[in-house]
Amino acid sequence: MFYIDPYYFYLVLPAVIFAMIAQARVNSTFNRYSRVRTARNITGADAARAVLSASGVTDVRIEPVAGNLTDHYDPSSNVIRLSQSVYDSPTVAAVGVAAHEAGHAVQYAMGYSPIKLRAAIIPVTRIGSSLSLPLILIGMFMNAFSLIKIGLAFFFFSVIFQLVTLPVEFNASKRAIAAISEGGLLYEDELPGAKKTLSAAAMTYVAALFVALAQFLRLLLIFGGRNDRRR
């Protein structure tokens, strides 16, 4: 007989569906405002430079990168990489996304505490994500609850990472909108489009937290009480 995991259906599946809806929303919102040209003909690259300049950050490069919505700031090389649909595009969506990534560069330059914390736990999160499930399975096979607990603890770092990511992303968007508004990069009637684009993107990070938390709770419910059941 096949084992049906009720925790997956009650916990993980709703979170995954929410994540899929959030991703579909960010795609549709970005596509919608990618068709709205900026009246001042400001491109994504222009917007990123303006945000950096407004904060006095002058040592960050801005480069194009292949792909769609592959925009990111790379702190290891101090480079903002903007996707093809953002870098040279004079659209409201491009300005919003590029300004957001520039916001991350400003966070690093200003020593913003949450982003420093997130950077510090990335190595532990990567190790934990690769070792957590093997440790849990080995612990179950060897009847070693200590290994299961270590595996669960490692997996919990993924939840912590997603939790720390939220203020980082919301703050970057806040900086972006403020810089766009104060710098006059978009007209007043264009600004809501940039806000909606960044708001939709922010929900994907909320969804990622829900998925990580749901997966952790599922593992905890399945494996967390094994030591008690042996007594």
Tell how far CA 45 is from the center of its chain.
Answer: 21
pLDDT tens digits along 136-162 = 888 888 888 888 889 899 899 899 999
47 within some domain: yes
Does residue 48 have a pLDDT over 70? yes
Cα(3)–Cα(181) distance, integer angstroms: 55
pLDDT tens digits along 153-208 = 989 989 999 999 999 999 999 999 999 999 999 999 999 999 999 999 999 999 99
Q: How far is CA 96 from CA 57, 103, 140, 171, 195, in A?
A: 18, 10, 48, 14, 7
Cα(104)–Cα(196) distance, integer angstroms: 19
Cα(18)–Cα(89) distance, integer angstroms: 30
Determine if the pTM surpasses 0.75: yes
What domain range is 196 assigned to?
A: 6-229
1 within some domain: no
User: Is residue 81 within 8 Å of residue 74, measured between CB atoms?
Assistant: yes
pLDDT tens digits along 68-96 = 899 999 999 999 999 999 999 999 999 99
pLDDT at 171: 97
Does residue 229 have a pLDDT over 50? no
Does residue 231 have a pLDDT over 60? no
State how many domains the chain has: 1
More confident residue, 227 or 215: 215
Tell me if residue 169 is catalytic.
no
- What helix, strand, coil percent values describe the chain, rounded to 5? 70, 5, 20
pLDDT tens digits along 5-32 = 788 888 999 999 999 999 999 999 999 9
123 within some domain: yes
176 within some domain: yes
Q: Which of 63, 101, 169, 190 is catalytic?
A: 101
pLDDT tens digits along 100-138 = 999 999 999 999 999 999 988 888 888 888 888 888 888
Cross-strand pairs, 74: 79
**Confidence class for position 225, pLDDT limits 50, 70, 90:** low
125 within some domain: yes
151 within some domain: yes
What is the pairing mode between strands 61-65 and 79-83? Answer: parallel
SS3 38: coil
Cross-strand pairs, 63: 81
